[in-house]
A and B are shown apart, each in its own frame.
Chain A
Amino acid sequence: MKVLMFGWEFPPHISGGLGTACLGLTKAMINIGEEILFVMPKINGEAVSDDLFHLMGASDVEVTRSRREMLRDVSPETIRFLEVDSTLRPYLNEVTYQTWLKEQVNYNESVVEARYEDQKIGKFEFSGVYGPQLMDEVARYALVAAQLAGQEQFDVIHAHDWMTYVAGVEAKKISGKKLVCHIHATEFDRSGEHPNTEIFEIEKYGLQNADRVLAVSHRTRDIVIRCYDLDPAKVHVVHNAVSKDVTVQRAQVKRNLDEKIVLFLGRVTGQKGPDYFVQAARKVVDQVPNVRFVMAGSGDLWPRMVERIARERLQKHFHFTGFLRGSDVEDMFAMSDVYVMPSVSEPFGITPFEAVLYGTPVIISKQSGIAEIFENAEKVDFWDVDRLTESIVNLLTDEEYANNMAINATRELELINWDGAANKVAAHYKEVTA
């Protein structure tokens, strides 16, 4: 089957797990014989094209017709699936309801039209980053998608996360092909109780217009059914896996310090629970002084975490590396003795798998998708700092226990790979296009 796939990140252009997951899944899909045209906003360097895999930058695509022209050739039935959004919301009084009505950006056909109709034709610029121009880029990307849908041959459309959902829907409108929306993270995971309404609306627009929704965990499936008002029958789970290209071995990595290292690696943002890691660090250091904590990553909470460490006077035990790339990530995993993922809300969370690849035992929060399938890990509630502390101390002080956990985790991981996920996705393609 030939797949028109839309993704915002693809290595090496990544800011987090989304790109890693896209790469792992795509590679495995190709291995089982699916053909993929992967469209990302911008690629630095040459477009890739071989038998089964074509990587393309939206910035290289020439849009030759206005959206109106493109849609003119499409039969009205194709567009009719577009839903009219309900403006009913509970718990609003008459005043807030009026305000809400004014402020709300509901994604429906008329908004998409108003927003994208005026765009010029030609090639568009993309930064491909999550910057202030993101919403504009999302819109331009959708225009490119429409163009590609008209000129490329394919059997199904697959869109990863909200940035590409409008693109997916546009491609569906033009081509009449089925749309699979893959959800790696919802706005509720990223922002807790205070979602960005525009992003939420785009997610809802994409998911409601999808013919099939693939969630990375049961946890995420539950969230999308509940919060986006989806028919449970079309939402399915495909758990993530991990790519096993390891170039650094634990035994060979140069350790610059004698103390054991406890690692947090991820975006330093509320979703990932960095503050619980810091709280646990304080408690662990009081019990096991010869230990160092490392927070690898950057994010909006980073300055606050640095100040917190300073206030706790943990300057001899807590280090910040900033955002790590390439072999630094591998070194960091391989140097660590405990990996902690204290996420408050984690749709899946691939990093614990990565830590295990380097022989590092892991502690994961129960509020993560990975906890649904991974047995050989310590599992704690993200908020339970005392349990987290206890788990870290156990892994630091009981070498046999830590070794066994790492060994068992490694064995378990041997059975988890992207091929499994790819087979499931391929089956969904078949079902949805049948």
Chain B
Amino acid sequence: MIDVCFYFQVHQPFRLRRDYNFFKIGQDRVYFDEYLNRDIMQRVATRCYLPANRMMLDLIKQHNMKFRLSYSISGTAVEQFKLYAPEVIDSFQKLVDTGCVELINETYYHSLASCHDEKEFIAQVQKHRDLMKDTFGYEPTAFRNTELIYNNQLAEQVENMGYKVMLTEGANQILGWRTPNFCYMPANCYKLKLLLRNYRLSDDIAFRFSNAGCPEYPITVDKYIGWLKQVAGNGEVVNLFMDYETFGEHQRKETGIFDFMKELPGAILGEDDFAFKTPTEVATTQQAMSKIDVPYDISWADVERDLTAWIGNPLQDSAMEFLGDLKEQVLASKDDGIIESWRKLQTSDHFYYMCTKWFSDGDVHKYFNPYRSPHDAYVVYCNILNDIEESLKLQKG
């Protein structure tokens, strides 16, 4: 039996005001571009979240609950749904109510806290747990970290926090000769299962679906089923992890992505040995094939599958350091506005915008970047942190 495990990432950052210039420091405490954020949220809701949720709901009903899937919805996305597109919350609720949808836990702010601040990481995970409970009445048992960032220590911590399964990238550098298509266990863990993204089959949908330059274009359901069936005999689970915005946003409706997805579950269920499971269902029904040792950080980004999209260049490191320097004062201020802004500034996207390695993944980076350059992103970010510092000074008197 081969389980197909779908997980979709739903995330929107609170984008900063690109006009937050030097003169605004100490004068203006509005940091986020409300117009831009609302526009993007409403656009993506119309193009992706609403029609995709409707499609998934139909598929679940059509296949008598045999189509199962999972989502991780960041706290910043949920907040913006509530602000700008509340109907999206209802449509996710309907999906959750079918019992066929698992919600995965992550850091509320889709942050890089796991990389530099354990306490902050735990606080943000707890905040996301509470949000899932309060918004959807759901208590997650699976965990995924921002951008699937992962290492041994983090796995240990996640196990200690009581999760049954964690998701990360099936990166070549950790797998070596092994396949991502089994359930694994982190090197230092005894209970926590590890699911690894099959990046080839995931990216066939997420990145290559409409790329006419790929040799396999156009990707049809028949071709895709053919690739899936190659797993038979050397695998028990195929983890298809991708951004939910693949549907209708990254891959526009006109590419036929919705038609593809409408057909895919039926075709998979039509094969003898295939079924759908959510991450926790996989973790509780399958044995771990072996342990996986990941002493250094990996992620699902870029060809390097490391942290260099967010951490490591001088802009990112300087901004991160500044953010960290303010932590104690921010938390001590007990000022909810300041604390909330400071946390929203932790969202990984802000650091992604400062990335200067524009090589093979430059196109992907540019697509998501509201700034003209990484340097512009850094300047705005630091201006805002400087204003937070000024606000703190003012508060202290």
| Interface of A toward B, CB cutoff 8 Å | 254, 256-257, 294, 302-303, 306-307, 309-311, 313, 315-316, 319-322, 328, 331
Contacts and interface: CB of A to CB of B under 8 A. Distances in A.
Interface in B3-29: 21-27
Contact of A316 (B21, B379, B389): B389
Contacts of B318: 309-311, 313, 315
Interface in B207-241: none
Interface in B40-62: none
Given A310-B317, A311-B318, A256 B23 contact: yes
B314 A311 contact: yes
Given A302-B375, A303-B373, A319-B383, A310 B22 contact: no
A119 B23 CA distance: 48
B350 to A, nearest CB: 14
B315 A294 contact: no
A307 B382 CA distance: 13
Given A303-B373, A310-B378, A315 B314 contact: no
29 contacts: A254-B27, A256-B25, A256-B26, A256-B27, A257-B25, A303-B375, A306-B375, A306-B378, A307-B313, A307-B314, A307-B315, A307-B375, A310-B313, A310-B314, A310-B315, A310-B318, A315-B318, A315-B322, A315-B382, A315-B385, A315-B386, A316-B386, A316-B389, A319-B25, A320-B22, A320-B379, A321-B22, A322-B379, A331-B23
Contacts of B383: 319
Q: Which 3 A-B pairs have the closest CB atoms?
A: A310-B318, A310-B314, A256-B26
Contacts, number: 58
Contact of A322 (B21, B24, B378, B390): B21
Given A256-B24, A313-B318, A315-B322, 16 more contacts: A256-B23, A256-B27, A306-B378, A307-B313, A310-B314, A310-B378, A315-B318, A315-B321, A315-B385, A316-B386, A319-B22, A319-B25, A321-B21, A321-B23, A322-B21, A331-B23
A302 B22 CA distance: 16
B69 interface: no
A319 B22 CA distance: 7
A313 B382 CA distance: 11
B319 to A, nearest CB: 7
Interface residues of B, number: 25
Nearest to B356: A307
A307 B313 CA distance: 9
Contacts of A254: 27
Contacts of A313: 318, 321
Contacts of B322: 315-316
Nearest to B325: A316
A319 B25 CA distance: 10
B357 to A, nearest CB: 13
A39 B313 CA distance: 47
B379 A328 contact: no
Contacts of A315: 318-319, 321-322, 382, 385-386
Contacts of A306: 315, 375, 378-379
Most interface-central of A254, A320, A322, A328 (chain B CB within 10 A)? A320
Contacts of B313: 307, 310
Interface in B308-347: 313-315, 317-319, 321-322
Contacts of B25: 256-257, 319
Contacts of B378: 306, 310
Contacts of B21: 321-322
Contacts of B386: 315-316, 319
Contacts of B24: 256
Contact of B390 (A257, A294, A307, A320): A257
B321 A257 contact: no
Nearest to A311: B314
Contacts of A257: 25-26, 390
Nearest to B390: A257
A309 B317 CA distance: 11
Contacts of A331: 23
Contacts of B390: 257
A309 B354 CA distance: 14
A321 B382 CA distance: 12
A4 B375 CA distance: 44
Contacts of A320: 22, 379
A313 B123 CA distance: 28
Contacts of A322: 21, 379
Contacts of B27: 254, 256
A311 B379 CA distance: 13
A254 B22 CA distance: 13
